[in-house]
Amino acid sequence: MPAEVQLLYGRQPLRITLPEGCQPTLVEKPSMPIPEDPVALIEGALDRPVGAPGMEALASAAKTACILVCDITRPVPNGLFLRPLIERLLGAGVPRQGITVLVATGLHRPNEGDELAELIGDPWVLDQVSVVNHFARDDAGHVRVGTTPRGTVVRLDRRFVEADVRIATGLVEPHLMAGYSGGRKVIAPGIAHAETITTFHNHRFMSDPAATNCRLEGNPLHEELIAIVKMLGGALALNTVIDDRRRLAFVSFGEIIESHLLAVEFVRDYAEVRLPRRFRTVLTSAAGYPLDATYYQTIKGMVGPLDILEEGGDLIIASECSEGLGSPEFAEAQRRYIAGGMDAFLDAIAAKSHASIDEWQTQMQTRPQSRARITLYSTGLSEKERALTGVTLADSLETAISDSIARQGDPMIAVIPEGPYVIPFAPGHSRDAAAYPLLLK
């Protein structure tokens, strides 16, 4: 009987029947230990902060507190931890009207209405404290905190900079540019001004081979974010890790760099998967909703499996793209890329000190596209949007897989149901084990 596999896709898994003779290798995280009581796990982390005093000491004289949350593109379990965190602040004496939850949108669109309610995940939070969005292009809403050694002018959201207690929250997972998400990344680009974001997303940073998944040591983007945190004067962070079913598996709380390290050390044993060989056909996803809502985010799924993809192979990806391509700026970058070709596009952006908004994701698309044939299955893109992807479009995943096996002459196929949340490595890859300790000195 043909094998059947499931990929994360939109809000419902996508079932694919593999062709006869196909020999699949399923690339998944090992099972994570899942606590019976996730709230107890959160309370325990709040009781034992790393590298920082307890909340009572931190907030005893505070009049204001600002809590950062990731925007709707990340499946962060905000509904589990925001109330316990806010109750700790209230218990320490921070007045209710002084507490702000700030959605760290970066340069993404704001999250409002029903979407904001979904993001926060707890009506109590919306009733009790102010919940607002960050707007990266609002000049007056930012404070200049300095310039990094690499020359990035750092401007951050005033509401966070001026708060007596600053807390970033988020999800720690592989990230195609910064190594791992969470922690310091929720501050920048999360609440950074457009000038700051477009500087450390320029060609110079993005073309560095160390700016890649699961790498921290020597990663210029990661090092820039650490410099920004130190320039700010530090912050706290609550970091979470979830399994492939979106269940809470790990929480750390405390000083932002140290607490992020703990979460990275935990998740990398699950998210980094070693395989014995490379493949000529790789089938993957863009991780389902909310990440696969746009083609912009889909590119993360294309970059994730590069280490196991043979030169000249086929990368087949499923992404719903229910909201289309992404921002108008990203669509324009895609137009320039397709019109002029890869070399001309890269040459045009190479000398720019500030990237045009969202063109860095088009630059990231050149990584897999210079290595392999990319085929996309998506039910959410219009014909006009499909033309701007710059990749081959498939109406059937089954047909795309059969065609690839015939073209490549190899029945072996790697299947990555969770997409960019799992990063596979082929033999010879060196694990970046010492990333954070070097930076903590």
pLDDT for the residue numbered 19: 94
Residue found under tokens 């863009």: 286
Among 349, 381, 352, 383, CA closest to 365: 349
Q: What is the distance between the alpha carbons of residues 125 and 86, in angstroms, rounded to a whole number?
A: 8
Q: What is the distance between the alpha carbons of residues 343 and 340, in angstroms, rounded to a whole number?
A: 8
pLDDT for the residue numbered 285: 98
pLDDT in tens, 311-337: 999 999 999 999 999 999 999 999 999
Task: Classify 339 as helix, strand or coil.
Answer: helix
Q: Are strands 65-70 and 165-171 parallel, antiparallel or unpaired?
A: parallel
Q: What is the distance between the alpha carbons of residues 217 and 194, in angstroms, rounded to a whole number?
A: 26
pLDDT in tens, 391-430: 999 999 999 999 999 999 999 999 999 999 999 999 986 5
Q: What is the distance between the alpha carbons of residues 425 and 276, in angstroms, rounded to a whole number?
A: 9
Among 402, 400, 422, CA closest to 410: 402
Q: Is the pLDDT of residue 435 over 90?
A: no
pLDDT for the residue numbered 428: 80
| 59-63, 95-99, 233-237, range with the lowest pLDDT | 59-63
431's tokens: 């694990």
Q: What is the distance between the alpha carbons of residues 368 and 389, in angstroms, rounded to a whole number?
A: 13
pLDDT for the residue numbered 437: 38
pLDDT in tens, 135-148: 999 999 999 999 99
The answer to whether the beta carbons of residues 301 and 287 sit under 8 Å apart is yes
Q: What is the distance between the alpha carbons of residues 207 and 203, in angstroms, rounded to a whole number?
A: 6
pLDDT band at 3 (very low <50, low <70, confident <90, very high): confident
Domains and CATH numbers, the chain: 4-27+275-425 (3.90.226.30), 38-270 (3.40.50.11440)
Residue found under tokens 């324009």: 332
Q: Mean of the per-residue pLDDT values for the chain? A: 95
pLDDT band at 434 (very low <50, low <70, confident <90, very high): very low
Q: Is the pLDDT of residue 439 over 80?
A: no
User: Structure pTM?
Assistant: 0.95
Listing DSSP states for 421-440 in one string gives GSEEE-TTPPP-TTHHHHHH
